[in-house]
Structure formats: C-alpha cells, structure tokens
Structure 1
C-alpha cells in the first residue's frame, strides 16, 4: 500500500451519544470516518477495507497524498454486482472503477453547522441522497460522514431546540403571570394611594392660602402696634421671623409640587397597569406616552433629553395597558442604546417622540414625515410590511427615535423574532419587541416599522388605523 493509506477505526457507538451536542454544534464535533486509499491501489484493497469494516460508508481517494474524491460502499458493491464486475475491477487499480462511478460530491467545511449540513444533504437528488458527505477539516484532511448518522444527530438537535423553546416559553409564561399579578397589585396600590394623595394635594393648596392670609393678618397687627413690646421683638429675633415668613411659603409650595408629582405618578401607574384587554375603550395616546415617561423618569435623569412633538390626535379606541407596554418596551430599548454610548457619544443623547394623523397608507407615509437631524436611511422590516393594515380613512402615527448606535443591518430582519436579543441574559429576554409587534399587529390591526442606520440612530414607527 501507498504511504498515504490510512485504516483508522470507524466511529464507534459513541457517535450516537449526543449529550455533548448543542444547537450550534458543527460537523467537526462528530465522529468522522478517516479511511483513505491511493487511487493507484488495486480494487482488491478497497474490497478488503469494506469487508473488514462493515459499517464503513465509503473511502476517501487520494493520489500522491492529494485529495481526489470519494467512492461509497453502495456504488462499489453496485459495480461489483454487475456481470463480470469482480473480474473487471478487483484486479485493476481503483482509478478504473472511479471513472465509472464518479458522482457530484457534497463537500462541506468542518465548521458547517449540523442543521445546515442536514438541510443540504436532503436537498440532493434521489440517486445521491444516500451518498456519504465529505467533511473538509483542513486543506489536506478530508473525512466522511454517513448521511444516516447526520440525520440522526440532526433529529437530536431538533429535539433539543424544541425542549429549549418549551423551557423558555414556560419560563416566559411564569414571568408573564408574575408581571400580570404585579400589574394588578400596582393598579390596586395606585388606587389606594390616589385618595390620600388627592387629599394632600387639595389640603396643601388650602394650607398655602391660609398661610398667606395669616401673614396678611400679622402684618396688619404690626402696623397697628407703634411700639412693640421687647418680648415680642426678642421672640421674632429668636425664630428668625423675616426668614420664616418667606421660607414657610416656599416650603408649602414645594410640598404642593411634590404632592402633584406623586399624584401624576399614581395616575400613570393606574394607566400603565390597566389590565382590561377584553374590549377596546377610548383612550388618549398622549396620556399613555406621558405616563410611560413618568415611570421611566429616573432612567432619563442620566442626561437623556426627550423631545416631544405631539400632534392633534383624536381619541383612540384600543387597549391602553397593552399600548403602554409597547411604549415602555420601545422607550426602554432607546434608553438602553443611549446608555451604551453615553461615555463616547458625539452629541447629546436624545429621544424624539412625535405623533400625528395621516390620511395615507403606511407605504405612502414617509413623504409626510420630517425626520430628525442627520437621520438618513429608511429600512422597513419585512415582517412589518407583510402585516400592513388594509386601507383605512386615517391612521395615528407614533414615532420613537433615538440617536444611539443603531441596529446592524444584518440582524434587522430578526429583531421581532421570539428570544432574539443582543443584550445579556440579565438585561433582556428577547421577547419585548416580539410582544410589541404582536400587540400592534394582532390586537390593534396596525404596523410596527423599524428604521435604523448603524452609527446614526434607530426609529420605531407605530401605525394604528382609526376604527
């Protein structure tokens, strides 16, 4: 035999032990057949290799240690079973047999994903579908993979993906139940807090008025007293009367402002936590947006400027709690993107929120919208365009734009997929945009469009038909 001939032990039963495999496993992680023979060897050598190794699917053919091709067990036995096949091919060199048995080869790099390899294997013609697959490990290292083994491994990975998806779905369902319970609790707490907060707001307003009246009365007394007693003058000095007169009023006003802010927050929580999704009700889109901004106020304190350009919108019949969830997802994503580039952002971090009513369908909508400065490229998501609503009389359009790093073009068509995220496990589940798309498309018959330019910014455009 030539020096290039190798007679390695075939893959054992361990090839069927798939516990080490992952969704992203590649062909080079599998046990591959490494049987090679020189093209000038006699056909008897090939017959001996197949006889000694009954599970061997084929043999790699070399010449001068260079890869030439492959001959499968199936084709070898087919040609030997023909009349005078054994007499013609066994004594002669393998080259003669190879000329008759050449077929198109499926050669795949070792780093090919198993799921991709299985798809390519079954797409072959019927006469070639059972031929072994050649796996190229390096420029000079070629090995064989039995198609049946590949399909078995692919079946395991498919099962693994199904189980993983089910586990993620169950985890998300549990999380959704927790959030639903939390939403109901927040709505209940907000309702309970609203009454005492309303009492504080009303009473601080009255108390401020009472304070001003008392100050007027005291000033009148001071004007009537020509020579105040020394004890009164001493008391005024001890309590710093002049400072108390001005600071007391300022203190009451600050309490009133704080109470009003707390009242706004409570109302925002009630709006955001509205859980009645059984029927539509009239709602104010701007109120939903403002309520979400109030909830996110603490995250916006890091130097992010919010620029609102609200149009004159009519009341919209929809599900306020669900739309608030969409606004929360989109605004939180914009804040996350801006926080990532906060330290080296060339311009001030900004979020634009604009609303208006349009008479045109979404496909004709872009000419009606004035983009923010330096906003260049429009890239509409395919999934969103397929979900375009049928022509209506009017549409409410909400645009949430940021001047963050943008979304790379190669992943833009995946952002609405379940569990797809570029964030760490601690920061994102990959469900926010998928749920938002479902809420807009299925619950409101609308569209959710993505517009993003890498390095410039990202915009989400919500189109809601007025029913």
Structure 2
C-alpha cells in the first residue's frame, strides 16, 4: 500500500508513517510476483514467510535484477523466491511499529553504506510484517529535526523573554527598594538625634517640676506629665524598631534582586541567608519556627544571586509542606468531635538552616540521595581536579535546610526525583540543580532526616 501523509510530532512513531504490506510464501514463483512489482513501482521489497513464519526479506532492486536476468535466460517460471533470497541472504533491519521515528532513523543510519537504501522491516502489533521505505524514513527524520529545531528556538525565545522580564522586574524592585531606603535612612538617622533631644527636654521638664513653676502654664496635671515622660521614650524606641525593620527588609529585597556580575565575586553566605529568612518570615505567619545554626564559613567566590535563588527555592519548598501539614491538622481538629485527654500535641513546625565546612572524612554519608548518586565519587574527583588539589585535601561548604514533620512518601520521593531530573527551565528544583552544578557543587536530599521524621536538602559547594 502507498504511504499516507500524516502530521508528525517529536513523539511520532514508525506506525505514523506509510508502510507497504506484501507477505508471500517463499515457495511462490517469481513470475507471480512480477505483475505486483510492475503495478506498484514504489514497493520497496517483498517479505518472505515459510508456513506463516518469518523467513526473510528481498529488496526490490536485487529482486528485479535477478528476475530480469532469469527472464532473458528463459527460466523465470522456475525461479522461486527461496532461490532468489539465497542470492541476497543479508539480515535486514527490523524494528517494532511503536519505535519512535528519531530512534528508527538513528538505527537506520548505523547500517553499512550498501544497505542504506534497503527497506526496513516493521513488525506490526498484530504480528504481521510490513516494509518501510528508507527514503520515507529519512524525509520524516529531517521533518522532525526541523520541528525539533523550531521547538528549541521557541523555548529559547520564551526563556529569553522570561529572563528579560525577570531582569526588568529585578531592576524595578531594586529601584523601589532604593527609593524606600533613602527616606528610611533619613528617618533612621534623625531618630537617634530626636531621642537625645527628647531626653534632654524631659530632663528640663523634670528640673522645672522640682521648682513647681511649669505646671500651671502647661495646663497638665501630675498624672498626665508622668505618663508623657514614660510613654514618649517608648514611642521613639518603637519608631526606631519599625524603621530598622523596614531598612533591613528593603536591604534584603535589594540584595535578593541584585543582578550578578559576569564574573563570580566573594560573598558572605550567612548574610545572604539572613536576608532570605527576613523575606520568608512573611510566609511563616507565626505557625512555623525557623532556627539558624551557623558554623564558621569563609567568603565563597560565587554568583550570589544564583545561590540566593537556590536557597529561597529550598526554603519555600519546606514552608509550603509545613503550612500544608498545619492546615490539614487544623481541619482534622475542627472535624473531630472529641480529643482524647492523653493525646500528645504535635511538635511546633520547625525549619532549620545549618552551615559548616566539611572535611574529606565527612563525605561518606550513604543516607543521602542525589541526582549524581551513582557517580558521587566521580563528582568529588572532578571538583578536586578543577581545584588542582588531591581529593583527600578537598573541603567544601555544606548548607543544610531541614524540617521536622512527616517524612516524604514514596510518591513524593519519585516526584522530587522527576523534578530534579527534568531539563525544563520552569522547574524550580531543576533550575536550582543547574545553578549548583554551575558552581561545581551538588544538591542532595534525604527523608526521613532524623529519628524517622522530617526531610532535608543539602547544598555542597567546593571551597576554593
């Protein structure tokens, strides 16, 4: 049968292409096949069967040459397909109809040069055999290559537009934070002077009160004046606290939105983590406790903007999990008709950030999982080679983000592995993995984390 046109996609398989179905018994005479080949000039060959079972395949060109020579010699009627096959006994390329077109084309291109034009045998789902023209497969292959290039171009365009949008948003937020910092700086700078002036004025008022000459002129009684003297310093201190929080928040926002330079620069990871914690606090709503345990870390030469994005992704992952758990427990408590008096209250949801410098003896931790878990030692060797040092002398920085609560289920483990294995840019964890890998580091995780509960991420960055 002639090939049929169909719309192809990158997921198209061989069964989406036109195939030729001609299966005959090997005992058949070539003279009986001659009219069929003349009727279908595009038929690429003949599939041979013996008692309904696979026997072989003869391409059209060798078969036609053999039949023409036999016709000239006058023995075409005695020439059987079995004899014709003995002149061309090579094993053809066979594949299932569900084989992707791109895979089929790669297999076809691996054949020797004389066999490049030979048809491909396709085994149908019914068990029958059909033939796929090599030229038809090559045309489909180049069509899909064009689709793949176009798709990659469109993804690149979308990524560039998204990157440009985020860059513009970052510059906008950075500008807004700068505009906030200017007046806050004025307020913060003047509040200390106002506090000093207020203290001096209160001292003057206290001196006048000792003389008893000020009260009739001010129209204030003793209680009002005492309250004023006590509350005014508190109001100024409260204003200073609010201005300081606003200044820290604007500074954290400015640091987070700061665009990285072309080359990495030394950065303080603890300062970056503190800024991110300040931004994440708005999501905690007092329902999640966050603790920090910092070791002594030297400045790390890195793109701090990229690492900020990694850390905020890991923090928000655990914040969402704990807040979801809190919401489920709240609903369960509201639906419960009675709670046992001896029931133990669940622990306060907690996220912990721990930093430290790991020595070579700390690298063997089999409970951790990573995308590179099968080649973790190879990763250590590669990073040590990049630093031009021996693996035994290598050190790296560990930033561990962990939570308490229920451990991940098997489905969550698989979902996490799929997210990290994805090459799509819209996957936050996959993007985080790429950023860590670009720094020569590794992202690992485990659950349960401690005492059969919780979960943890660990970012390992080589210390140069």
TM range, normalised to the smaller chain? 0.7 to 0.9
Deviates more, 1:241-250 or 1:41-50: 241-250
Give secondary structure in 1 for the equivalent of 2:397: strand
Tell me if 1:357 matches 2:344: no
Could you tell me which of 6, 9, 12 is aligned with 1:25?
A: 12
C-alpha offsets along residues 88-133 of structure 1, whole Å, 9 cap, x if unaligned?
6654443343354333233322222111111111123344333222
2:245 corresponding residue in structure 1:
261
> Are 1:330 and 1:400, in contact at CA under 8 Å, matched by a contact in 2?
no
Aligned to 1:3: none
Q: Could you say which residue in structure 1 is the equivalent of 2:316?
A: 335
Q: Give matches, 1:385-404, under 5 Å.
A: 388=383, 389-391=386-388, 395-402=395-402
Matched, 1:136 2:136: no
Closer/same/farther in 2, CA of residues 328 and 24 from structure 1, 3 Å limit: same
Alpha carbons 1:396, 1:464 under 8 Å: kept: yes
Q: Which runs of 5+ in 2 are unaligned?
A: 327-345, 450-454
User: Structure 1: any 5+ residue segments left out of the alignment?
Assistant: 1-8, 441-446
1:33–1:56: 8 Å Cα contact kept in structure 2? yes
Which residues of 2 match residues 36-435 of structure 1 at below 5 A? 36-63=23-50, 65-80=52-67, 90-203=77-190, 253-275=237-259, 277-278=261-262, 281-301=265-285, 306-316=290-300, 318=301, 322-333=303-314, 335-336=316-317, 339=320, 343=324, 352-358=352-358, 360=360, 366-367=363-364, 375-377=367-369, 380=372, 388=383, 389-391=386-388, 395-402=395-402, 405-406=412-413, 414-415=421-422, 417=423, 419=424, 423=427, 431-435=431-435
Q: 1:344 to 1:244 in 2, by over 3 A?
A: same
For residues 453 and 222 of structure 1, what CA distance do their matches in structure 2 show?
68
Q: Which structure has more helix as a fraction of its residues?
A: 2
Q: Verify the 8 A CA contact 2:433 2:442 in the aligned structure 1.
A: no
Match of 1:112, SS? Answer: coil
- Distance across 2 between alignment mates of 1:134 and 1:455: 51
Deviation of the 1:185 alpha carbon: 3.0
TM-superposed CA distance for 1:219, in Å, is 9.1
- Where 1:191 maps in the other structure, the secondary structure is helix
- Alignment-derived partner of residue 459 in structure 2: 461
Contact 1:450 1:458 in 2 (8 A): no
- So what's the TM-score if we normalise by structure 1? 0.72
Q: Structure 1 residues 412 and 188 mapped into 2: Cα distance closer, same or farther (>3 Å)? A: closer
1:35-74 superposed Cα distances (whole Å, 9 cap, x missing partner): 3333443222322222211111123334555554433213
* TM-aligned CA deviation for residue 287 of structure 1: 0.8
CA deviations over 1:405-435 (Å, ceiling 9, x no partner): 34569758845x4x366x5xxxx69655434
Distance in 1 (alpha carbons) for counterparts of 2:147 and 2:236: 64
Match of 1:448 in 2: 441
Please give the alpha-carbon distance, in whole angstroms, between the structure 1 residues aligned to 2:21 and 2:444.
50
CA distance in 2, matches of 1:304, 1:87: 94
> Aligned partners of 1:133 and 1:189: how far apart in 2?
64
Answer whether contact 2:433 2:443 (CA < 8 A) is retained.
no
Deviates more, 1:181-190 or 1:158-167: 181-190
Instruction: Decide whether aligned partners of structure 1 residues 283 and 432 sit closer, same or farther in structure 2, where only a CA change above 3 A counts.
Output: closer
Pick closer, same or farther for the CA change 1:94–1:199 going to 2, 3 Å: same
2: CA distance, partners of 1:34 / 1:340: 56
In 2 relative to 1, CA 310–29 (structure 1 residues): closer, same or farther, beyond 3 Å?
same
- CA–CA distance in 2 between the matches of 1:29 and 1:109? 12
**Who is 1:444 aligned against?**
none
Match of 1:443 in 2: none
Distance 1:406 1:420, change over 3 A: farther
Q: Is the 1:67–1:140 Cα contact (8 Å) retained in structure 2?
A: no
